C-alpha cells in the first residue's frame, strides 16, 4: 500500500473476523474500520478494538458512507464465495469504497492448478495454559476445495474436540484479474507472502475529465 500510495491514511478491512489484522493495521494508518458478516466474530473484534468502527455487512453488496485510501481483504476470505459472479460483485463493492488513486489488496485462495488432492496440514499452538492442535484434510469438490478441519483443545478442564467444514472456491488468476479491471482498478499479482497464496494489488483509476459532467474538471 505504501509503495503505491505513500500518503495513505485510511484503511478498511473487509471480512475482518475477530480484528487480528486490524490490530496491526491501526498502528500504521490514522483511521481504520472493519466489515464482518458474522455477528460472533464482530463481537470479538469489538472487544479487541473498542475504538475502531466495525460494521456488519456482506462483502458482496455492502455500502458504507466513506471511501478509504486502502481496502484490504485478507486470509483468503474471498474464497468462501461460491461463484465467479459473487466474487466479481465483492471486488466491485470493495473497489467502490476505494478513493481514486487508492489501493485494493485481496489475498486469494489457491488457484485450480495449485490444488493437491488429499492434502493434509497440521498446526499446534500453546498460550496461557491452552493448547490447540489443528489438522485438516482437503479434497476437490466441483471447482472448490472441501477442507475438513479437526481441532483438539486442551486446558485445565480437559480435552475437547470439534470439527468444521470449509469450502473455498478455486477461482483462476484470470478471473481475479478481470474482476479488478472491470471494477476500474489496475491489477498485479504478487506471488508468495504473506501465506504462500500471494496477493492481488490494484490501484483505483482516477476519473479523467471525459468521465465528469460537462463544465467540471478534476479540480
Chain segment 97-115, per-residue pLDDT in tens? 999 999 999 999 999 999 9
- 20 and 99 within one domain: yes
Is residue 217 very low, low, confident or very high in pLDDT (cuts 50, 70, 90)? very low
Q: Nearest Cα to 73, choosing from 6, 8, 12, 3?
A: 12
Any residues with CB less than 8 A from the CB of 16 and at least 6 apart, and which? 22, 34, 35, 36, 41, 45, 54
| pLDDT number for residue 218 | 39
- 130 and 26 within one domain: no
Tell me the residue range of the domain where 85 lies: 10-112+171-211
Instruction: State the DSSP code for 12.
Output: E
Which tens digit of pLDDT belongs to each residue from 31-63?
999 999 999 999 999 999 999 999 999 999 999
| pLDDT number for residue 211 | 53
Q: How far is CA 133 from CA 10, 91, 136, 154, 163, in A?
A: 36, 34, 10, 9, 12
Find the CATH number of the domain harbouring 85.
3.40.50.150
* pTM: predicted TM-score of the whole model, two decimal places: 0.92
Which tens digit of pLDDT belongs to each residue from 161-214?
999 999 999 999 999 999 999 999 999 999 999 999 999 999 999 886 455 444
Amino acid at each position: 500500500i505504501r509503495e503505491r500510495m505513500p500518503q495513505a491514511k485510511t484503511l478498511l478491512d473487509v471480512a475482518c473476523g475477530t480484528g487480528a489484522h486490524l490490530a496491526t493495521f491501526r498502528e500504521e494508518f490514522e483511521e481504520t474500520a472493519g466489515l464482518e458478516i458474522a455477528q460472533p466474530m464482530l463481537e470479538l473484534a469489538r472487544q479487541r478494538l473498542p475504538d475502531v468502527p466495525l460494521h456488519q455487512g456482506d462483502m458482496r453488496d455492502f455500502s458504507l458512507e466513506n471511501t478509504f485510501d486502502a481496502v484490504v481483504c485478507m486470509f483468503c476470505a474471498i474464497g468462501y464465495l461460491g461463484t465467479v459472479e459473487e466474487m466479481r460483485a465483492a471486488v466491485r463493492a470493495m473497489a467502490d469504497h476505494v478513493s481514486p488513486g487508492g489501493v485494493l489488496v485481496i489475498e486469494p485462495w489457491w488457484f485450480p492448478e495449485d490444488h493437491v488432492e488429499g492434502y493434509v496440514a497440521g498446526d499446534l499452538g500453546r498460550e496461557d495454559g491452552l493448547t490447540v492442535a489443528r489438522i485438516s484434510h482437503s479434497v476437490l469438490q466441483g471447482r472448490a476445495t472441501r477442507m475438513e478441519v479437526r481441532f483438539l483443545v486442551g486446558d485445565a478442564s480437559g480435552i475437547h474436540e470439534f470439527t468444521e467444514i470449509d469450502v473455498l472456491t478455486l477461482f483462476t488468476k484470470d478471473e481475479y484479474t478481470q474482476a479488478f479491471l472491470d471494477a476500474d482498478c489496475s491489477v498485479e499479482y504478487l506471488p508468495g507472502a504473506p501465506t504462500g497464496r500471494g496477493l492481488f494489488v490494484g490501484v483505483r483509476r482516477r476519473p479523467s475529465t471525459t468521465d465528469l459532467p460537462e463544465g467540471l474538471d478534476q479540480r
